[in-house]
Chain A
Amino acid sequence: MITPSAPRRHARLLTALLGVSLLLTPDIPAKAAAVEPLPTTEIAPGVHVHQGSHHAWAAHDGEDVANIGFIVGARCVAVIDTGGSPAIGQRLKAAIERVTALPVCYVINTHMHPDHVLGNVALGAGSPGPAYVAHVRLGPSLSARAPYYLEAFRREGGQALAPDAVVYPTQTVADRASLDLGGRQLELRAWPTAHTDNDLTVFDQQTGTLFTGDLLFMGHLPVIDGQLRGWLRVVGELKALDVARAVPGHGTVSDDLRQAIGPEETYLTTVLREVRAAIKAGVPIARTLDQLSATGIAGWQLADEFHRRNLTAAYAELEWED
């Protein structure tokens, strides 16, 4: 695929591959310097966040679309999501190395979507390497989808990735878990099916920062790839949490989770109400998509990419209601 960005993409891919091959040897500073670190902001002491841009993953340079974070303890570093390509993961690694010399001990994935997990492979350095931590259902869901994600990446992003570029969890969470970074505890919570069937949140006790993964979308239209009613129940629980700030999966960091989650709750509630009404009125699925194609999307980005998809998923779910 010949696009103006193609040479840069190839360079990045090459860097990613080289990075992986260096994993068995100690860091070579000259290599690290060749990678442009992801810009990050320290939003609270020891909590660093990179905000992704609002694009659909893999389309037009869209590898860097999800938010990424890392938290530095006294002993080691935990990474929360790794970006939409090995190259982004490599730049994340460089960003971490700019902040601290401590090793990465945990790579946590908030769910199986490719914009959050495809950088995993670049974080595998060190001996012992990091534990890859995720919801117990991430592995099966990701492995069922990985061939499609890689194909979409090739088709729309113009890059071929080998199947082993997808790195799976080595440590799973079925309900709750604590991770110790040295004087710093992270509380992990696995949720019932909501945005996906494998959503996981990460709470940093020290600063009261909650990484919501894609349970919270801001600006970027929420995407239903799990269960709409389950998601709304989880939104209700998230609103009741006492947190100092929330890092959404997409959008800006907020110090008011209840307010930040409002638009998402309104959108999901609207989809629920309108699709339910269509089903009750006996409107078939295809016609429902046409009738509701503009309902509830005002103010959201990427509605063209995701709204009809959400209506489809909502219809297939809600038609089973009594």
Chain B
Amino acid sequence: MNPKRRMLISLPLLLAAGRMVHAQQAGATDPALDIDANPMWLQFRDSLFAGRPITTPADDVLRLEAPARAEDAAIVPIALRAQFPQSDSRYIRRIYLIIDNNPSPMGAVFDFTPASGRAEIETRVRVDAYTHMRAIAEMNDGKLFMSTRFVKASGGCSAPPGKDPQAALATLGRMRLRVEGEPVLNRPSLAQLMMSHPNHSGLAMDQLTRNYTPAHYVRLVRISYAGEPVLTAEVDFTISENPNFRFYFVPKGRGELKAEVLDSQSRRFEATLPVQPVSNPA
């Protein structure tokens, strides 16, 4: 766990309620929509990367894939893709995902290792407003690269909350871990983790009771293979209801793929999958 990051993330949360409305005053001069002047971004840049150069655009290092418009504000599919394989001498150590105008802009931090094979993640996020989205890669030598996309908010009647919170809660903790295709010895293999969880922000007030639905979201996902860390994701309710991650790992022999999940109410969940890689592609 990174205490620095926890501290950073709590500040935007405090600001969130009041910010949502006026962060988005549309118009060319709105700083919230200015990729260089968004106040949340400036705050993160100064506190996380103080004084360090950030190379951008950097689509030859890290590609951020996101739709031009958030069709469904609650489920916006995105992908972060390194443009080279992880190796001991050159690898992406960490990717920060920042969605400038969301209530919690720094929605995810992904830590990779050379054993990740590829520093890639596909997931789904909530998008609250017209916003720049940023993926910032930190290399093993400390160099920083940033890719950005602009995402338009969805139209009128789509909103970030989940569609059936009762159903998500009824199956809370149900997990699926699987490998896509046949895993090949010493090659990056694609895997997917799905988890049933409402991922409540705690920002929505029930008008009848005047109570806030308590925050309840996945905050940490740790993936390992044969006991070696592959991916660690520090996340929050930026991730959609029923969190879903596609990622890579490199099986160097028979082993167990393991996912551990911690949520904001300190509940712990686990899923494992025995893997027997083949030595030649089928």
Contacts and interface: CB of A to CB of B under 8 A. Distances in A.
B174 to A, nearest CB: 8
B70 to A, nearest CB: 9
Interface residues of A, number: 50
Given A155-B26, A168-B207, A316 B242 contact: yes
Contacts of A305: 155
> Is the contact region of chain A dominated by helix, strand, or loop, or is it mixed?
helix
A148 B163 contact: no
Interface in B115-149: 122, 124, 128-130
B205 A143 contact: yes
Interface string A278-309: 00001011100100000000000000010011
B153 interface: yes
B166 to A, nearest CB: 7
A141 B160 CA distance: 11
Given A155-B24, A155-B26, A309-B71, 14 more contacts: A139-B206, A148-B128, A148-B160, A149-B159, A151-B20, A152-B153, A152-B155, A166-B207, A169-B208, A197-B165, A225-B158, A312-B72, A316-B124, A316-B244
Interface string B46-85: 0000000000000000000101000111010101000000
B156 A58 contact: yes
A6 interface: no
Interface string A22-53: 00000000000000000000000000000000
A286 B20 contact: no
A227 B166 CA distance: 12
B73 A148 contact: yes
A18 to B, nearest CB: 24
Given A57-B156, A227-B167, A145 B161 contact: yes
B240 interface: yes
A242 interface: no
A62 B156 CA distance: 10
Contacts of A286: 65, 67, 77, 79, 122
Contact of B72 (A142, A153, A313): A313
B1 interface: no
Contacts of A168: 207-208
Contacts of A316: 75, 124, 240, 242, 244
A175 interface: no
A95 B79 CA distance: 51
A319 B194 contact: yes
B213 interface: yes
Contacts of B77: 284-286, 289, 312
Contact of A143 (B160, B167, B208): B208
A114 B158 CA distance: 10
B163 A227 contact: yes
Interface in B142-184: 153-161, 163-167, 176, 180-181
B161 A309 contact: no
Top 9 A-B pairs, shortest CB-CB distance: A144-B204, A57-B156, A148-B159, A58-B156, A309-B71, A145-B159, A144-B161, A143-B207, A308-B71
Contacts of A313: 72, 75, 163
B204 A143 contact: yes
18 contacts: A59-B155, A62-B156, A139-B207, A140-B208, A141-B161, A142-B207, A145-B161, A151-B24, A151-B129, A152-B155, A152-B156, A155-B24, A197-B164, A226-B163, A227-B164, A312-B75, A319-B194, A320-B194
A115 interface: yes
A193 interface: yes
B157 A225 contact: yes
A146 interface: yes
A161 to B, nearest CB: 11
Given A146-B207, A149-B157, A309-B158, A193 B213 contact: no
Nearest to A84: B156
Nearest to A55: B156
Contacts of A12: none
Contacts of B244: 316, 319
B246 A284 contact: yes
Interface in A204-234: 223, 225-227
Contact of B157 (A155, A223, A312): A223
A91 interface: no
Nearest to A317: B163
Contacts of B124: 285, 316
